[in-house]
Amino acid sequence: MFAEKRNRRSDMMWIYILIFLLTGSRGMAQVNRNEAFNLGSNARLICSNKIWTKAVFVIWNIELKHKTCKISFNHEGQSSNSCNDGKSLQNSTDQSFLHIPNFSVNDVGVYKCESAYTGGNENYNITVGVTAPPVVSAWLERRGNKMVAVCRAERGIPAANISWSVTGNHSVTQQNNPDGVVTVESQLEVPEDIDRENLTCIVRHQLWEGERTLVPDFLPEGISIFYFIPVFGIIFILVAGFSIYALKKVILLRQCQQTDSPKSPPQTEDVEEVEPYASYVQRVNSIYN
């Protein structure tokens, strides 16, 4: 009899567990999505569209390149944050979101969010990337008998795409910087029969709605830093020479002041003027003697 009751309790426990798992899995929503934020911007990552006042708890498990950390809070007001890099959970009028200030390449990673609310729960795996618009420039160079057009898109994320309005022998190089930004440069040997006004460089990037078109031209004379080297040298020599000259003038002036104002020795009065009679007597005696 006792064993039968014990078995019934065990069966009921498994039934409750099964019901809990079924209802829990039915309320679970697993979503994978991608997000990207501009370099240096303040990112706002939303876990769920549910109103935050109905949330029981929210947990962010963050997997970055150099570390992992966790941020969480519950409806009782308890919270924890092990990231220690400015990330924080914030609430707007109707939603809870993860705030990432001054987004950088160090914030790129996988952000896993689990939220429980009245009526169910949700899980999100968000792959977060970074974007940055490139700085573009184009110019012409003479290399021997050839004219070369150069088009550059610097410090972009992801890499920009460069093309030319004319066909010709061209090359493309890509430089991946340690901070995650990419510089792309394309060089084109300009055909002799091409009018320079018809030569354009076209740059496309993920962040731009359209394309950027540049007309390369020769750099102004003296734009190179090497032009300024002799100028800086001459200025340095002039400043150094003037400083030495001024220092010598100061030293000579001090010496002249010391020479022009010596200490005057005490003037001794002429004995003949002070004691005329005594001097006369001494001279007369010396004659007779």
Between 36 and 21, where is the model more confident? 36
**In terms of domains, do 56 and 110 share one?**
yes
For 67-82, what is the mean pLDDT? 90
Share of the chain above pLDDT 90, in %: 41
CB-facing half-sphere around the CA of 174: CA atoms within 13 A: 11
Q: Tell me: the pLDDT tens digits for 98-108?
A: 999 999 999 99
Q: Which pLDDT score is estimated for 271?
A: 45
- Domain assignment present for residue 279? The answer is no
Residues 6+ apart with CB under 8 A from 163: 186, 201, 202, 204
For 24-49, what is the mean pLDDT? 80
Interatomic CA distance for residues 96 and 106, integer angstroms: 23
Amino acid letter at 8? R
- Domain assignment present for residue 47? The answer is yes
pLDDT confidence tier of residue 5, bands split at 50, 70 and 90 = very low
Domain count, the chain: 3
What is the bridge-based pairing of β-strands 120-131 and 28-38? parallel
Q: Which pLDDT score is estimated for 49?
A: 77
Interatomic CA distance for residues 281 and 201, integer angstroms: 118
Q: Which of 131, 147, 174 is where one domain is finished?
A: 131
Query: Residue 230's CB: how many other CB atoms inside 10 A?
Result: 9
Residues 6+ apart with CB under 8 A from 63: 109, 110, 111, 112
Q: Which pLDDT score is estimated for 173?
A: 96
Share of the chain above pLDDT 70, in %: 73
- Domain assignment present for residue 51? The answer is yes
**In terms of domains, do 98 and 44 share one?**
yes
The pair of three-digit structure tokens given for residue 35, joined into one six-digit string? 């997000």
pLDDT confidence tier of residue 28, bands split at 50, 70 and 90 = low
- Domain assignment present for residue 282? The answer is no
Q: Which pLDDT score is estimated for 248?
A: 76
CA-closest candidate to residue 186, choices 154, 210, 156, 157:
154
**Which residues span the domain enclosing 244?**
226-260
Q: Which of 131, 155, 179 is where one domain is finished?
A: 131
**In terms of domains, do 155 and 121 share one?**
no
What distances in angstroms separate CA 32 from CA 37, 157, 194, 225, one per listed residue?
17, 22, 51, 51
The pair of three-digit structure tokens given for residue 110, joined into one six-digit string? 């996988």
Residues 6+ apart with CB under 8 A from 162: 151, 153, 172, 184, 185, 186, 201, 202, 203
- Domain assignment present for residue 46? The answer is yes
pTM score of the predicted model: 0.58
Q: Tell me: the pLDDT tens digits for 230-256?
A: 666 788 788 877 778 777 777 877 777
Q: Which of 191, 214, 237 is where one domain is finished?
A: 214
Residue indicated by tokens 């010396």: 286
Residues 6+ apart with CB under 8 A from 120: 26, 27, 28, 29
**In terms of domains, do 121 and 142 share one?**
no
Q: Which pLDDT score is estimated for 220?
A: 79
pLDDT, the chain, mean: 79
Q: Which pLDDT score is estimated for 194?
A: 80
**In terms of domains, do 47 and 67 share one?**
yes
pLDDT > 70? residue 11: no
Q: Which pLDDT score is estimated for 256?
A: 73
Between 114 and 283, where is the model more confident? 114
**In terms of domains, do 110 and 124 share one?**
yes
Q: Which pLDDT score is estimated for 69?
A: 96
For 23-43, what is the mean pLDDT? 77
Say which DSSP state 214 is in: E
**In terms of domains, do 161 and 200 share one?**
yes
Question: Do 113 and 18 form a contact (C-beta atoms < 8 A)?
Answer: no
For 32-37, what is the mean pLDDT? 92
Amino acid letter at 43? A
